[in-house]
Amino acid sequence: MEPSFIQSPTLGKAERYRAFLPQLAALLEGETDLIACLANTCAALREAFGFFWAGFYLVKNDELVLGPFQGSVACYRIKKGRGVCGTAWAERRTLVVPDVDQFPGHIACSSLSRSEIVVPMIVGNEVKGVLDIDSDCLNAFDETDREALEKIVTLLMQTLYQK
């Protein structure tokens, strides 16, 4: 197994996501270990899109705890309702933050991070964690990212919890 997630630089963002989803599905096929699947998913996301930081926080004992990620070191624990991640968890919805300095309570793991998107990982009524992606550019994420990353999280949750 050695699929390359590197994509043609001529493709637009929506096309890249369209190409990425079946590649990711093939990568996850047959594996149900949580850490293994999350680790390869953020590695694939980073390879395909060159994200500044891409990773997961997992709900443990009513806190978010740092999970598999790609990028520089990050804070270990985030309380419910705190920062972008804790707010996406509490509100059970994707948050697109065009300028992190304008988000009250944003937790700066890296001073280089300028914008962010956080997608909650929901199974039934339970939030299992969040997918967090940071950019070092302002306004890096939009509806295309929201839609595609929600599909990616849905695929992950089906792979891990509904088979």
- Give the burial class of 43: count Cβ atoms within 10 A of its Cβ; 0-12 exposed, 13-18 middle, 19 or more buried: middle
* Nearer to ligand SME among residue 25 and residue 65 (C-beta): 65
Our finding on whether 133 is near ligand SME (CB under 6 A) is no
- Contact with ligand SME (CB under 6 A) among 24, 37, 95, 109: 109
Q: Taking the complex as a whole, how short is the minimal distance between the CB of residue 13 and ligand SME, in angstroms?
A: 21
Binding to ligand SME (CB under 6 A): which residues in 41-100?
53, 74-75, 78, 83-86
CA nearest 106: which of 87, 80, 129?
A: 87
Q: Taking the complex as a whole, how short is the minimal distance between the CB of residue 114 and ligand SME, in angstroms?
A: 11
* Nearer to ligand SME among residue 117 and residue 159 (C-beta): 117
- Contact with ligand SME (CB under 6 A) among 41, 70, 94, 113: 113
Q: Is 51 left (phi over 0), alpha (psi -120 to 50) or beta?
A: beta
Could you tell me how many residues of this chain bind ligand SME (CB under 6 A)? 15
